[in-house]
Amino acid sequence: MPAEDCAAIIVEPIQGAGGYIVPPHAFLRGLERICHEREILLMVDEVQTGFGKTGQLFACDYFGITPDILCLSKAIAAGLPMGATITRAHLMEWELNTHENTLGGNPVVIAAALAVLDIFQEENLTAAARRIGERLARGWQELQRRCAVIGDVRHAGAMIGIEFVQDRETKEPAAALRNRFVKECFEHGLLTLGAGPCSVRLAPPLILSDEQVDMGLAIMEEVLSGLSVG
């Protein structure tokens, strides 16, 4: 497609449902440069990555990019239904009545969103995400060294992706093993979430203590030790 026929590119900075796939910083920075050179709008979907998950308030800060349009939801109002679109000023110059929405202007969710921003600042939750993520990633990297079924451990802040494989050399997916892991963690009182062909994604609360992180790691290690490929 010629650049002049492309109005915008939308990208999820870290693939969420794909299994927390974290791209190299150079990829998104290169995409930003190409968009600016060719006058293509860069739209970034931060519904999953926004509000501290990467250890920065937004994944755009984590990767060092500035999009033209930023899409937010989920954590923005602590679970209440809310979404937001933030853009450069010139993109918001519409004539009156040319844009509308169904559920806009809800004062309750706006109050919740403002409280979320206050709590992030007061409790320094971005730093907490970095602490939690580093502790979880170290624990899983140690498990990876001991368990051949762990093909990859990916993380950005408190977003942790663990890939289950039949064989670490061939990277053959082990979806059934992943599913057993998720099920048995649940039976041990720990919620994990499958994603992509054979990955588990961990998105822990940003208020966890080190003791709670270690408790979760202990449960996952116990479950993992009881699994076998087959």
Statement to judge: residues 108 and 196 lie in one domain: no
| Closest among 48, 214, 59, 200 to 126, alpha carbons compared | 59
Q: What is the domain-level CATH number for residue 75?
A: 3.40.640.10
Question: What's the pLDDT score for residue 2?
Answer: 76
The pLDDT of residue 183 is above 60: yes
Residue 137: predicted pLDDT: 96
Domain end point (choices 123, 157, 177): 123
Q: Quick one: 116 and 130 in the same domain? A: no
Considering Cα of 164, then 167, then 170, then 172, what sign does the dihedral take? negative
The mean-pLDDT minimum among 38-52, 53-67, 89-103, 108-122 falls in 89-103
The pLDDT mean for the chain works out to: 93
> Could you tell me if 107 and 7 lie in one domain?
yes
The Cα–Cα gap between 139 and 129 comes to 15
pLDDT digits 0-9 by tens, 73-132:
999 998 899 999 999 999 988 887 777 777 777 899 999 999 999 999 999 999 999 999
Q: How many domains does the chain have?
A: 2
Q: Which of 69, 100, 123 is the last residue of a domain?
A: 123
pLDDT of residue 198: 97
Instruction: Give per-residue pLDDT as tens, 139-152.
Output: 999 999 999 999 99
- On whether both 13 and 114 belong to a single domain, the answer is yes
- Per-residue pLDDT for 229 more than 50? no
Q: Based on the fold, state whether residues 27 and 111 are members of the same structural domain.
A: yes
Residue where a domain stops, chosen among 103, 123, 143: 123
- Contacts for 93 with CB less than 8 Å, ≥ 6 apart: none
- Residue written as tokens 């954590």? 75
What's the token pair of residue 64? Answer: 């060092």
Task: Give the residue numbers spanning the domain of 108.
Answer: 3-123
Smallest CA-to-CA distance from 13 within 37, 34, 42, 40 is with 42
The gap between the terminal CA atoms of the chain, to the nearest Å, is 45
What CATH number is associated with residue 183? 3.90.1150.10
Residue 119 within a domain = yes
Which pLDDT tens digit goes with each residue over 199-210? 999 999 999 999
The helices-and-strands tally (H runs, E runs) of the chain is 6, 9
